[in-house]
């Protein structure tokens, strides 16, 4: 068991060593390239050191620096765009635009809620009035049914009472058959 653990540790140290060598090689290349860049920049601008004294009063000098500034800005913007990044100025403009749109969206949401509440209140009022109409019509219909019932049942009761009255009168009258 201990031998297996030692083998695993040995293998991991063996695997780490080539990775460390690769990192050292990359660091050496970066340092070497940076030194070369520093040497190039010093050698490249050495002949131009005294250019300020020569051209300081001419418009060509100012135009050259303006063009240089514009070219540098354009190159840096192209570099930034290559990676899909945006400048700080563009970022600030987008943030302002976002805030404006967010405020506009919030006011529209509030307006929508207000209109929905007004619509709900209007619908409740309509339902209440509709309910009142239904209740009124229901009461009127019930009254009509009751009245109809009284009208249709009253003659039969009156006929019964008139029949009863006729029967009573007949009983009180002497019958004609008996007199003969």
Torsion of CA 94, 100, 104, 110, to 10 degrees: 110
Binning pLDDT at 50, 70 and 90, where does residue 153 land?
confident
Among 21-25, 126-130, 149-153, the minimum mean pLDDT is found in: 21-25
Mean pLDDT of the chain, nearest integer? 75
Q: In 50-143, where do the E strands start and end? A: none
Cα dihedral 167/170/172/175 (nearest 10): -150
Name the residue among 55, 85, 82, 81 with its Cα closest to residue 68. 55
The residue with tokens 């009168």 is: 169
Does the pLDDT at position 52 exceed 70? no
Query: Quick check: 113 and 121 in contact, CB under 8 A?
Result: no
Q: What DSSP state is assigned to residue 48?
A: G
**Amino acid 33: pLDDT:** 59
Is the separation of the CB atoms in 86 and 80 below 8 Å? yes
Q: What is the pLDDT of residues 66-86, one digit of tens each?
A: 888 888 888 887 887 787 777
Predicted local distance difference test score (pLDDT) of residue 180: 44
Q: CA 151, CA 36: separation in Å to the nearest integer? A: 121
Cα(67)–Cα(71) distance, integer angstroms: 6
Contact 127, 120 (CB under 8 A): no
Q: Long-range contacts of range 139-148, CB-CB < 8 Å, 24 or more positions apart?
A: none
Residues, the chain? 180
Q: Scanning the structure block, which residue is given the tokens 């201990």?
A: 2
pTM given for the model = 0.34
- DSSP 8-state code for residue 86: -
Short-list 62, 87, 63, 61, CA closest to 73: 87
Is the confidence at residue 58, as pLDDT, over 80? no
Give 55 or 88, the one with higher predicted confidence: 88
When mean pLDDT is compared over 23-27, 33-37, 158-162, 171-175, the highest value belongs to 23-27
- What is the Cα–Cα distance from 49 to 67, expressed in whole angstroms? 19
Q: What proportion of the chain, given as a percentage, has pLDDT over 90?
A: 26
Question: Minimum mean pLDDT among 2-6, 76-80, 157-161: which range?
Answer: 157-161
């Amino acid at each position: 068991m201990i031998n297996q653990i030692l083998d695993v540790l040995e293998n991991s140290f063996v695997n780490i060593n080539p990775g460390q060598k690769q990192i050292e090689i990359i660091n050496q290349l970066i340092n070497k390239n940076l030194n070369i860049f520093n040497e190039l920049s010093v050698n490249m601008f050495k002949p131009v050191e005294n250019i300020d004294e020569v051209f300081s009063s001419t418009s060509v000098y100012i135009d050259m620096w303006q063009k240089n500034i514009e070219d540098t800005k354009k190159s840096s913007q192209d570099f930034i765009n290559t990676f899909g990044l945006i400048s700080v100025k563009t970022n600030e403009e987008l943030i302002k635009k976002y805030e404006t749109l967010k405020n506009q969206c919030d006011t529209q949401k509030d307006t929508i809620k207000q209109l929905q509440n007004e619509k709900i209140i209007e619908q409740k009022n309509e339902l209440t009035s509709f309910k009142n109409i239904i209740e009124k019509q229901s009461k009127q219909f019930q009254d009509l049914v009751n009245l109809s019932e009284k009208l249709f049942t009253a003659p039969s009761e009156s006929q019964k009472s008139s029949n009863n009255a006729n029967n009573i009168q007949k009983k009180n009258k002497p019958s004609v058959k008996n007199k003969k």
